[in-house]
Amino acid sequence: MGTLALALAALASSAAAEQGSECSAPMYAEQMAAAVAEVSEKAPEAAEASLKRLENAPKKEEGLRGHPGLAALLSVRAKGAAIKRAVYCGGKGAHWVGVEAADGRVFRLPLGADGDPGGVDLARMEERRLGPQGPERGRVLSRDAQGVALASLMGSPAALVSASAFSLAAEGAFRDSLARVPSPVAVPARPFAEYCKGARCRSKKARVTIDTDGYIVDPAVRAIVSSKDYDRHYQPRTAMSYAGAEGPARYLDATRIPYVVKHRDSPWALGDLVLVEHQGRSVVAIVGDTGRRRRINEISHAAATALGIDPHGNTGGSPDPVTVTRLGNLRLRRPESEAQIFAALEAMQTWVGGDKAMAQGNSADFYGVRGGLK
């Protein structure tokens, strides 16, 4: 089964279990590939027009019922999203169409059982985001024919879970627990843009590669990330560790926590909070590891997925510069737990994202700061 198929299967796992059925196999691979190519060439307006023709077809077999995969693709394209890939998931039991957009969104259209799409209702299409802005995320494990891949789905920062274990109930429970953890870093009283004017917030740019180090909580994901096929430089440790914790679990998990890697002689310190930006997306992260290179040019797997950057340890990264801005003296020096880090990042993300002035452009231009990346 393809990467997207398994990633999207996570969204249906709970419901499938309740219904006594599950997605067992992708179908119509050639037809779906051809449909992706066809729909990708359409402008959003043209896709919407084509979708209306399907909806108004005189015969059901010529409309949505006969072309559920095409309908799902046209619906996504009509939203203005560029389509990356799609899958028709079938076999015995419930069927559905999954579409992954280039901007990180994943769409899933439930169909009928046993090959009969029945009444295709586009209003039932579900949406999740791969690598959402902000530190909130849950993950599912995905495998492809060549080996392994990781896909991030919007959800709880509580747990890095396998597709079979994905649970909206668990997500809600963790959100409740997170709400009881106060941010250990006080949010500045001044608005973000005002706080960062002048030399307080130093902004640097660089192309980045991916860091997948630390204690990967999920054993299945750990087996993948620690393999040379996924990250030949994987280390089970990070420079930052949780205060008072012992054993391998005291280190950060790169697939869960958005962090950047600083070089050892940098004036930046472990625990500094930073804003990382790339092509219109942003995520607040923490300086969580050190490297030998003279420049900050690594970000964690979690930070990469939040920014829509390929998070693969060996082949991922960004060919164009990422902007990393240290947020003045905001710092979480020795966090006691992962929940503390998420609480701090979430509070800062709200503070940063709530400033409408940021819509004026890239932060480096807005602050008027420049300089080499060190």
Per-residue pLDDT band at 45 (split at 50, 70, 90): very high
**How far is residue 65's CA from residue 167's CA, in Å, rounded to a whole number?**
30
Query: In degrees rounded to 5, what are phi and psi of residue 91?
Result: 85, -165
234: tokens are 């994987």
Is residue 298 a contact partner of residue 261, using CB atoms and an 8 Å limit? yes
**How far is residue 34's CA from residue 163's CA, in Å, rounded to a whole number?**
28
Least confident of 10-24, 46-60, 149-163, 229-243: 149-163
Scan for tokens 């039932």, then name that residue.
124
**How far is residue 165's CA from residue 11's CA, in Å, rounded to a whole number?**
10
Domain parsing of the chain, residue ranges: 3-129, 181-367
Is residue 150 a contact partner of residue 255, using CB atoms and an 8 Å limit? yes
Fold category of 181-367 in CATH: Barwin-like endoglucanases (2.40.40)
Predicted confidence at residue 94, as pLDDT, reads: 64
Is residue 262 a contact partner of residue 290, using CB atoms and an 8 Å limit? yes
Scan for tokens 């010529």, then name that residue.
62
Q: What does the radius of gyration of the chain's CA atoms come to, in whole angstroms?
A: 22
Predicted confidence at residue 353, as pLDDT, reads: 78
pTM: 0.53
The winner for highest mean pLDDT among 227-231, 234-238, 370-374 is 234-238
Beta-sheet pairing, 203-211 with 298-300: parallel
**How far is residue 87's CA from residue 110's CA, in Å, rounded to a whole number?**
12
Element (H, E) at 285: strand 281-291
343: tokens are 């609480």
